[in-house]
Amino acid sequence: MLERDGTRLLLNTPGGGGGAGAALPDGSQPEPGGWNRIQIEVDDLHDTISGLQQAGVGFRGGVISGRGGEQVLLQDPSANLVELFEPRP
């Protein structure tokens, strides 16, 4: 993780275990250039998921627990990946 002037860059190693480096339940594997995504930090991941599901948003797999917290992936209308992330306290 790198941070400068209020901007954070998080890098994960494909196959590095947990979090963004892990395979999805459908077997999709992270590949260089193929898993770039926007990450949005939320205060309560499960509450956020519930509200989005009620609004009809579909998710790509379930919640994944990693070293830094929990995350879930969804696709925006243009099929870009969006990660919702709740860091560990």
Q: What is the pLDDT of residues 11-63, one digit of tens each?
A: 666 566 666 666 777 777 766 556 677 889 999 999 999 999 999 998 988 99
The answer to whether the CB of 25 falls within 8 A of the CB of 62 is: yes
Res 71: pLDDT: 94
Calculate the CA dihedral of residues 82, 37, 76, 69 and round it to 10 degrees. Answer: -10
Res 31: pLDDT: 64
Res 85: pLDDT: 95
Cα–Cα distance between 28 and 69 in angstroms, integer? Answer: 21
Res 47: pLDDT: 98
- Domains of the chain plus CATH, in order, are 37-89 (3.10.180.10)
The answer to whether the CB of 84 falls within 8 A of the CB of 67 is: no
The answer to whether the CB of 13 falls within 8 A of the CB of 21 is: yes
